[in-house]
Amino acid sequence: MAMLNGKAALELQRIRNIGISAHIDSGKTTLSERILYYTGRIHRIEEVRSKTGGGPTLDFMELEREKGITIQAAATYCAWKGHHINLIDTPGHVDFTIEVERALRVLDGAILVLCGVAGVQSQTITVDRQMQRYRVPRLAFINKLDRPGANPDKVLQQMREKLRHRPALITLPIGLEDRFEGVIDLLSLKALRFEGANGEHVVEQEIPPQLLEEAQRRRQELIETVADVDDAIAEKFLADEPISTEELIAALRRATLRRELTPVYVGSAKTNKGVQPLLDGVCLFLPSPLDIPYEAIDRHTGETVQLHADPSLPLVAFAFKLEDGRYGQLTYVRIYQGTLRKGDTIINMSTGKRQRVPRIGRIHADQLYDVEVAGAGDIVALFGVECASGDTFTDGQLNVTLTGIYVPSPVIELAIAPKDRNKQANFAKALNRFMKEDPTFQVARDEETGQTLIRGMGELHLEIYIERMRREYDCEVDVGRPQVAYRETITRRAEFNYLHKKQTGGAGQFARVAGYIEPLPPESGKSYEFVDQIVGGAIAREFIPACDKGFQEAMQKGLLIGKPVVGVRVVLNDGQTHPVDSSELAFKIASMAAFREAYLRAEPIILEPIMKLEVSVPEEFQGTVIGQINQRRGVIVNTTVDNGYAIIEAEVPLAEMFGYSTDLRSATQGKGEFTLEFLRYAPVPRSLQEELVREYQKRRELEKVA
């Protein structure tokens, strides 16, 4: 840090890289629209379900505006009181969870939006867990206080119980529901009202006399909350010394950066109240690039290297999102260290490939504004640079990589084919593009049926891509029935000792591999591990990678129902090499055959995706809905009743959830709502396993006949 000159340090201190995350329909996009309006980035507010035919700035896809949901994370930038804010609005729907993952991977801070009526919901818990995974400090914004049933105190309590947060209330509402008029700032002890056509004028007033006592009590609670985590405030608090606003703000900032507490703001984005104080909070409490320690891994030694947000140091940048837009491929990058100029040559650390940067732009929704240079702390887009999501770029002075993005496994698959054979090229083009843009969208070919399978996070996820194929590539597709993305695994250790020997006219093929396979502990989080225990050159060193490749290839298709095998450790501890007849191909074939030989002895089982289901229904339908869930092999985890609505939390196999929305609507007169999110893989019951194996064998017999 000492290398930074004063001007550069001041500029970096004024940068905020933030994201907005929440449960679906909590008001993220509405809040983003207000932020852009109040910072002068846009001059007219558009609502999520606009009647004028437009739509929110950051929901610029036609599909997003039609459905009233965010599908892709959208980036923009704006300025507030001398601070430069890079903002990413993320989807709330769990099917698009990868968008939240990659945004949080590169952001320094976040705003967690909570509905003032519904409070902490299932997806709130998920996005909060994602923030914890990337150690992102956050503010909370309790939204929709103009709605009937709004209760910010209930939401604060849920934050403590369900999220394990220590909330620190910064603004207090003046009235609730249809009497919500403004907020009281507990730092300055002033009432703030939002006047003008769109609440753009913040008017500071004295606190209404009837609320003064409560405001002083809440400020005292705020000081106590900060004293619990900050020694400087604790000393003054215990000594009964006065604590100035400046000292309180400094302590709140320190505790927020350490993620020991969460400053909480309240308001209603829809009615334009409480957003400007939240922007002040972003500048006061969320980190600048100078406040966050960044680490990279040295590719030679495997050791951790500390990075610094210094424009004068060697370049290190991270590609976190790709988009095939109107300008060709855009690569969204976060610059962690150094400076990037138009025309510079950069090296992709994953491929070793050198590339020139023809164009750099700042992104505002679907628009690109050219810039000549970008420095540490910036989020920009590169045009004309080939890479994959999660690649690291340097200028060649450092040989480091940044840790990648966590990519959840797809849980559902569909067989699709173009209706018109002449559209095959468009079909292939669309699939390639979507796969490149979204790591949770996968494409495979079923070798037995010749079908193209697409895999994703849920029915909506795949539905959106099928619709985009029709609109953007003029390609209508035939869609098969949704299938569950089953997996296979083993339950016990099994040894292998396989000799592959083939003699032809010329050189033959010879390879022997020996060792064992065993289940990986579930907590390892790995799907495959290869352990090389070969000593004394039993297998020549150059053939070991071929063995690893052979085992991995064999695991792509299990022997029970032809699904990928996961959770296996392969230990190779013996073998034999022939001086003439051994080759990489021979060892790869031997490894594949050895795995298959040991697999059936390792007592394989089938795994199915278990989903976390949260259903919200009027209380009178609670019994019916619980009955429905039980019929679908569901396990009820928790039920609560709030404002006449029952919230039922359950764990249900995905295989039983197709068509559930229709059943729920008909059982609750259309009043029931639910969210479904992947939780884990679990063994299928034995009777169902036998049925799945029989079905698979029957299908294979039919295909052989055909």
Q: Is 417 annotated as a binding residue?
A: no
End-to-end CA distance of the chain: 70
143 is in an annotated binding site: yes
In eight-state DSSP terms, residue 674 is E
Is 636 part of any known ligand binding site? no
User: Is 389 labelled a binding residue?
Assistant: no
Residue 228 assigned as binding residue: no
27 marked as binding residue: yes
Burial letters 159-191, b for 16+ CB under 10 A, else e: beeebebbbbbbbbbbebeeebbbbbbbbeeeb
The CA R_g of the chain, rounded to the nearest whole Å, is 28
Count CB atoms within 10 A of the CB of residue 588: 23
| 602 assigned ligand-binding residue | no
Annotated binding-site residue? 26: yes
Does the annotation place 144 within a ligand binding site?
A: yes
Per the structure block, which two tokens stand in for 363? 């992104």
- Cα within 13 Å of Cα(439), Cβ side: 19
CB-CB neighbours of 404 under 10 Å: 17
String of DSSP letters for 556-593: TS-TTTSPPB-SEEEEEEEEE--TTT--HHHHHHHHHH
Compute CA distances 54 → 35, 65, 368, whole Å: 18, 8, 20
- In DSSP notation, 75-129 reads EEEEEETTEEEEEEE---SGGGHHHHHHHHHH-SEEEEEEETTTBS-HHHHHHHH
Confirm if 226 and 252 have CB atoms less than 8 A apart. yes
Distance CA 76, CA 368 (A): 10
Rounded Cα gap, residues 587 and 578, in angstroms? 11
- Strand locations in 526-672 (E): 528-532, 568-576, 604-618, 635-642, 645-653
Report residue 533 as tokens.
Answer: 């225990």
The annotation status of 95 as a binding-site residue, yes or no, is no
The answer to whether 672 is annotated as binding is: no
Buried b / exposed e over 22-54, threshold 16 CB at 10 Å, is: bbbbbbbbbbbbbbbbbbebbeebbebeeeeee
Residue of 425, 423, 438 lying closest to 323 (CA atoms): 438
Distance in angstroms (rounded) separating the CA atoms of residues 608 and 266: 41
Token pair of 553, please?
A: 């290839």
Q: Which residues pair with 484 in a beta bridge?
A: 412
655-660 long-range contacts, CB within 8 A, separation 24+: 655/484, 655/608, 656/632, 657/611, 657/613, 657/632, 658/459, 658/482, 660/628, 660/632
Element spanning 362, H or E: strand 359-364
Residue 567 assigned as binding residue = no
93 is in an annotated binding site: yes
Report the alpha-carbon distance of residue 84 to residue 12 in Å, rounded. Answer: 9
Cα(280)–Cα(284) distance, integer angstroms: 6
- What tokens does 290 get? 């100078």
Which residues make up each annotated binding site?
A: 22-29, 89-93, 143-146
Binding site as annotated, residues for GTP: 22-29, 89-93, 143-146
